[in-house]
Structure 1
C-alpha cells in the first residue's frame, strides 16, 4: 500500500465525520447518559491491537484539535493552552466526553460573522485538512462546480477580483473563448458604469451576479487615456483549453509557429473533461494540413482531471506499447504504457481507456516548467517514458497525488451524515500516480533535489529562466490568449524571440526535421542507385 500524507484515508474520514457530527450536534446530545464499564466487557485485547487503536485515536484527536484551533482563529480568539490535553483526555473517556468538550468550545466563542451558518464547520474542516497534505481541501460556493465538470457554460466569461458589493468591480480574469474575450476585455479593467449608471461601492451589485443577459459597460483600463465602452452579452460557450499561437479572423487559432516547416505550437490551458477530445480534433486538422513537428506546451498548466490526462497521453501512443516487445520486461522492469494510480488499500486502478485517435507520425517536444502540475506532469512523463516525446524546459512541480471529492450534503464514504452540510464538499487525497517506467513522480515533504520526483527535461533540453521572467511570460501568454483577432495592438509575444524556452524547443525541432530530411535524401539516393544497377545488369544480360 502506498502511504499518502500522515494519515490513512480511513483515519482521515473518521476525523472528518467526528468533527461534522460533534460540532453540528444539538445541545440535547449533551444530556445523553452514556454507560461506562469499569471492567472489560469481553475477552482481553492483544497489546498490538491496543497500540494500533491508540495510534489511530491519537491521529483522529490531532485532527479534532486542529479543527478547534481553526475555530478559535476564525473567531479572533486564542486557543486555550490545554486544549490538546483536554481533547485527548476526553477522547479516552468515550464519545460523550469528546462531544461535550467540542460543544462547550463552540458555545464559548459565540456567533461572530465568520462562524455563522456553515462558517464554523468550514473553518474547522479547513484547519483539519491542512494537517493531512497540501492538496486536500474543503470546497464551497463556486468551488463546488469542480464536482460536476461541464463542457459548456453560460455567462459573460469573466471573473471579478471580488464579488462583494463593497469592492470595486475590477476584472480578475477573462476566459478564452467567452463573450468578454471576444469583446477584448482584459484583466485589470475596472467597470466604472453599468447600463449608464455609475458603479457605487456598497450599492451596485457585481456584474457576475446580474440576472440580465446584456450589460452596457464603461471601463477604465490601466494606462489608457480614455474610457472604453462596450456592450457585453451573456452566452453559452465552451471555454478554450487547447490554445495556439495567433487568432484568426473568426477567433479560432492558428497553431503553426513555423508554417514553412509545418511545426505547430499547442498550449494546454487546463485538463478538463473534454480536453483530450478537443486536442484530438486539433491534431487531426493539423495532420490534414501536413503537420511535421509539434511543441506541446504544458507550462503553467495546473493539471486537472485524471482520466482526460491519461486519454491525452494515449493520443500520441496509438497501438504502440513497450510491453508487446519480446522479453521487454527484462529491460524495462514490466513497463506499462500509461501512468497508473496506486490507491490506498490496494484498490484496483479500473480505468477505462478511450480512443480519440492515433497521432504517431511526427516528432514531439513537450515543454514544461516548475508550474507544470498533476495531470500535465502525467502526460509529459508518459511520453518521455515511452520515448514518444522529448521533454524540454525546466523540472516540473512533482504533484502526483490523486484527489477524490465527496459532497457533504448527503452520504459520504458509505455513511449517512446525521447533520448534512449544504453547499460544501471535501477533496481528499486517496492515491498516488506512478510513471509508466515505475519511477516516483511525487515530491514529498522530505524529498531532495537529487531524488526522483517530477519530470526532468532531457539533459540537452534544459532551458532555465528565472522565476521573475517565468511570471512575466505567463502574464504575456495570458494576454496573447485573450486578444481577439479584431485587436491589432502589438503585444510582447508578437516577437517570438521573447519566449526563449519556446524558441529553443523550436530550434531543436527544426534540427530534428533537417536531419530527418537529410536521411530521407540519402535513402532516396541509395534506392535510385540500386535501381540503376538493376537496370544496367538487365541491359548487359
Structure 2
C-alpha cells in the first residue's frame, strides 16, 4: 500500500479561519438573531451569553470536528484518484450524520425540494391528472374534478404520446410529471390517443393552481363531486382523510358543515394508510370535535414544553364518531385518534397504529434551496403517554390501539 502525507491546502486554511470565526460568533445569540420561523422553535427566547468554561470547551470541540470534516473534504477534492462532485460529497456527509439519528430525520437536496414542497402544500402548478405507466405508456388514471385537464375533455384511459411535441417514449413517470407541471398560466400541448375508440387528438391545456384534495367521500356523485354520506337513510357521514396538509382543516370544516345542514347523525373518519402531516392540522381538527381539555403536548431536548388545549367555540360534539385506523396510520393520524379516544369522543376501530410519536421541524438551508427535516421533540397524548414505538423500551405502551371489541 502506497501512502503519502499531503499538507493542507490554502482552501483548508481559509475555511478553518472562517469556521473559527463562525463558532465564536455563536456565543450570545438568541432567537432574534434567526429571523426564519423554522429556527425559532429550536432556540430559547431567553437565551443569554454563557461565559462559563463548559460552552467554551464545546465550541472548541465543535471547531475541531468541523475542521476535520473540511480537511477530509479538501483532501478528497484535491487528491482522490478520480474527479468527484463536491455537492455529492456534501450530500453524502449530511446523510451520514442524519443516519446516526432517528429514521424520521432526513435531508431534502435541491433536486427534490420542489416535489417535497408540493407534497407538504398539496398544491402545484399543473393540469390536474393522475397517471400510471402501462408498458412504458403514460396512461391517464383520472383527471381531477374541475381541473384544466377535466375541462379539456381528457378522460381515463387516454395515453399521452407527446408533451410539447417531445415524445414520452422511454421517459420515466417522474419525467412525465415534471414536464406536465409548470408556471401557472403557461400552456402545455398534449398529443393523446384513446385506445377504446382508436382516435388521436392534440389538446392545449393551460396550467393552473392544482390543489390536491386530502378529504374524500364515500363515492362520486353523477357530476363527479364527492358524496360524503356512507348511509344516506341513517345519515351516517364518511370522510377519507389521505394526509394532514395545509388545507385539510378547511376541507373537513366545509364537509362537516355540509353534513350538519343535512342532519348527520353519525360520522366515520377513515385514517387508514394516512401517514400524517402537519402537527398544526391535527391540533385544529382535534379542536373541531373536542370541547375542552388537553389535545396534545410536545417537548424536546432543546425545545420547551408546549401544550394545546381545546376551545369550546365551534365544536361539533352532538353526533357520535368512529375513527378507522390501521398499522399504517401514523403521526398526525395518531394525534387525532389519541385525542378523541382519551376524551371518549370517538370509538377507535381497526388495528394498532404505526407508533410515531415524534415531531419534525422543516429547516430551510441554502436560502430555501434545500431542506433539513429534523426531529426536535416528542408528542404526548392527553393521557400523558408518548406513543412512539422506539421510545417504548420493550413495553407494549406504543401506538394507538382500537377500543376493546373493535
* Corresponding position of 2:70: 99
Distance 1:97 1:250, change over 3 A: closer
Q: Deviations over 1:49-102 (max 9, x none)?
A: 69x969x96xx8xxxxxxxxxxxxxxxxxxxxxxxxxxxxx95xx765553233
Tell me, yes or no, if the aligned pair for 1:156 and 1:208 is still in contact at 8 Å. no
CA drift at 1:343: 2.8
Q: Are positions 1:261 and 2:229 aligned together? A: no
User: SS where residue 345 of structure 1 aligns?
Assistant: coil
User: SS where residue 302 of structure 2 aligns?
Assistant: helix
**Larger strand proportion of the pair:** 2
CA drift at 1:265: 1.2
Q: Deviations over 1:281-301 (max 9, x none)?
A: 100100110100111000111
What pairs with 1:302-317 in structure 2 (closer than 5 Å)? 302-317=275-290
CA drift at 1:225: 9.4
Counterpart among 325, 339, 348 of residue 391 in structure 1:
348
* Corresponding position of 2:128: 157
* Corresponding position of 1:143: 113
What pairs with 1:59-458 in structure 2 (closer than 5 Å)? 91=64, 96=67, 99-109=70-80, 116=85, 118-140=87-109, 141-144=111-114, 146=116, 150=121, 152-158=123-129, 168=136, 170=138, 176-177=144-145, 178-179=147-148, 183-185=154-156, 191-194=160-163, 198-201=167-170, 206=176, 208-209=178-179, 213-218=187-192, 231=203, 233=205, 234-317=207-290, 320-321=291-292, 336-349=293-306, 357-410=314-367, 423-444=369-390, 447-448=393-394, 451-458=396-403
Tell me, yes or no, if the aligned pair for 1:265 and 1:294 is still in contact at 8 Å. yes
CA drift at 1:273: 1.3
Distance 1:258 1:232, change over 3 A: farther
CA drift at 1:236: 2.6
Tell me, yes or no, if the aligned pair for 2:219 and 2:228 is still in contact at 8 Å. yes
Tell me, yes or no, if the aligned pair for 2:113 and 2:371 is still in contact at 8 Å. no
Q: Give the number of the structure whose alpha-carbon radius of gyration is greater.
A: 1
Separation in 2, partners of 1:285, 1:33: 62
CA drift at 1:312: 0.5
* Corresponding position of 1:460: 405
* Corresponding position of 2:32: none
Separation in 2, partners of 1:393, 1:108: 58
Separation in 2, partners of 1:125, 1:103: 16
User: SS where residue 347 of structure 1 aligns?
Assistant: coil
Separation in 1, partners of 2:167, 2:69: 54
Separation in 2, partners of 1:32, 1:231: 55
Separation in 1, partners of 2:338, 2:141: 30
Structure 1, unaligned stretches of length 5 or more?
1-24, 35-47, 61-89, 322-335, 411-421, 462-541
Separation in 2, partners of 1:32, 1:244: 57
CA drift at 1:104: 1.0
**Larger helix proportion of the pair:** 1
CA drift at 1:29: 2.8
Distance 1:315 1:97, change over 3 A: closer
What pairs with 1:23-34 in structure 2 (closer than 5 Å)? 27-30=10-13
Tell me, yes or no, if the aligned pair for 1:30 and 1:96 is still in contact at 8 Å. no
Separation in 1, partners of 2:204, 2:337: 39
- The number of equivalent residue pairs is 350
Structure 2, unaligned stretches of length 5 or more?
1-7, 18-52
Normalised to the residue count of structure 2, the TM-score between the two structures is 0.72
Separation in 2, partners of 1:121, 1:227: 51
User: SS where residue 306 of structure 2 aligns?
Assistant: coil
Separation in 1, partners of 2:254, 2:350: 26
Separation in 2, partners of 1:175, 1:110: 51
Q: Deviations over 1:197-238 (max 9, x none)?
A: 7534479x74632565243333588xx795776747333332
Distance 1:350 1:337, change over 3 A: closer
Distance 1:259 1:398, change over 3 A: same
User: SS where residue 107 of structure 2 aligns?
Assistant: strand
Tell me, yes or no, if the aligned pair for 1:263 and 1:295 is still in contact at 8 Å. yes
Separation in 2, partners of 1:407, 1:339: 26
Distance 1:49 1:195, change over 3 A: closer
Distance 1:445 1:435, change over 3 A: closer
Separation in 2, partners of 1:356, 1:243: 26
Tell me, yes or no, if the aligned pair for 2:160 and 2:190 is still in contact at 8 Å. no
Separation in 1, partners of 2:210, 2:14: 55
Distance 1:357 1:116, change over 3 A: farther
